[in-house]
Structures are given as C-alpha cells and as structure tokens.
C-alpha cells in the first residue's frame, strides 16, 4: 500500500507543483536509489553526502518519503 501512496504523491506533485521534475528531491531520490542498489562508487560525493546525513538507505528513503508527503499534502484535498 505504501508504494501506491508513493506513486499517487508523485503524480499529484507532477500535476500541481511547479518545476517538480527539476526539484532537488528527485535528484536525492535518484542518489538514494543508487545507494540502495550499490551503484554509487565508494569515492562519490553523493555517497559521502548520504552517509553523512543518513545512517542507512532505509533512513534516507523514510526522510525522502516524509518530504514528499509534506509537499503533496496540500494537493491531496483540493477544494
């Protein structure tokens, strides 16, 4: 169920949030996904940044999910 909520939140942001596709959250999500799949080189600045602020890929994903929920929240219940 969480995956569907995640997709719905991303869909809402794509429809209503200006310049969503160039947002830094998407860049962060891409780096987190690469971290989860061990696709980042050990000397990459992205990996260093992620390890500095998050203790694990799961923590990073949870923080990203909270931010996406906060951004999508106002668009969920439009009047």
Encode pLDDT of 34-64 as tens digits: 898 899 898 999 999 999 999 999 999 899 8
pLDDT band at 20 (very low <50, low <70, confident <90, very high): low
Q: Where are the domains of the chain?
A: 2-76
Give the residue-averaged pLDDT of 25-39: 86
Per the listing, tokens 């000397």 go with 43
pLDDT at 47: 93
Q: What are the respective helix, strand and coil percentages of the chain, to the nearest 5?
A: 75, 0, 25
pLDDT at 78: 64
How far is C-alpha 7 from the geometric centre of its chain's CA atoms? 11
Residue 5 has pLDDT above 70, yes or no: yes
2 Cβ contact partners less than 8 Å away, ≥ 6 residues apart: 65
Global pTM? 0.67
């Amino acid at each position: 169920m969480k995956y569907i909520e995640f997709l719905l939140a991303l869909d809402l942001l794509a429809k209503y949030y200006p310049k969503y596709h160039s947002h830094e959250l998407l860049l962060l999500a891409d780096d987190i996904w690469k971290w989860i799949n061990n696709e980042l080189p050990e000397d990459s600045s992205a990996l260093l940044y992620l390890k500095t602020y998050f203790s694990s890929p799961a923590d990073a994903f949870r923080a990203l999910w909270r931010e996406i929920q906060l951004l999508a929240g106002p668009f969920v219940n439009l009047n």
